[in-house]
Amino acid sequence: MSRDHDDTIAGRISRALAERIIHGELVPGARLAQDHLAEEFGASHVPVREAFRRLEAQGLVVSLPRRGVRVASFDLKQVREVAEMRAALEVLALRHAAPSLTPEVLAAAEKAAGDADAARDVRTWEEANRRFHRLIVSTCGMPRLLTVIDDLHAVSARFLFVAWRATWEARTDHDHRAILQALRDGDTEEACRILERHVQWIGRAPLPLPGRSETEGFAIVG
């Protein structure tokens, strides 16, 4: 088996497992059995181990001595850490992207914002929200930065699905519209200011959800 083929299989395995973790099908603390996954995907142990490394780099799994590879747990401190990282890196990307954003890209971002506002379930909202954030930085010309931002969005999505696994409320995101208006006005600094505040709000305010502690009910949308 060639290395390139192993990489392709590892990518397929890591994407499949990330999807299961993000959507709560694999719960925090669940053990990922190398043998079972190799059998499921018709692969050797080599690409499975590579998939584990990729997931660990994304913060989705942890490798523990004598306990194997487990789905990572998280707490409010980690949510806020991801929010701070996203705010810093997305603002950096937006500063570089803004001069190259075309009316077509901004129209696509407007459509994504509208789709998010109209969402009636958490999965639809998350996909549209992620699409909005990706579009406004898509022209930054910094592929490594975009890869890191994508990884952080995957972790944010996991926080979101855990926080909202039982209920979802439709919402209108005024920040998205304000960011787009600032970009259309050519005011990059204002767009960056709103984006930074918007993302940093994640984890800062507890949600008033009955039966949840503050650490379970923190604001997670952004």
Query: For 96-110, 126-140, 149-163, which range has the lowest pLDDT when averaged over its residues?
Result: 149-163
Best-predicted range by mean pLDDT (106-110, 125-129, 204-208) = 106-110
d(CA 79, CA 131): 20
Does residue 52 contact residue 175 with C-beta atoms inside 8 Å? no
Q: Is the pLDDT of residue 107 over 80?
A: yes
What's the rounded mean pLDDT across residues 143-156? Answer: 92
Residues 17-41: what's their mean pLDDT?
Answer: 90
Give the phi and the psi of residue 21 in degrees, each rounded to 5.
Answer: -70, -45
Whether the predicted model's global pTM rises above the 0.95 cut: no
- Residue 159's pLDDT is what? 78
What is the DSSP secondary-structure string of 78-103? Answer: HHHHHHHHHHHHHHHHHHHHGGG--H
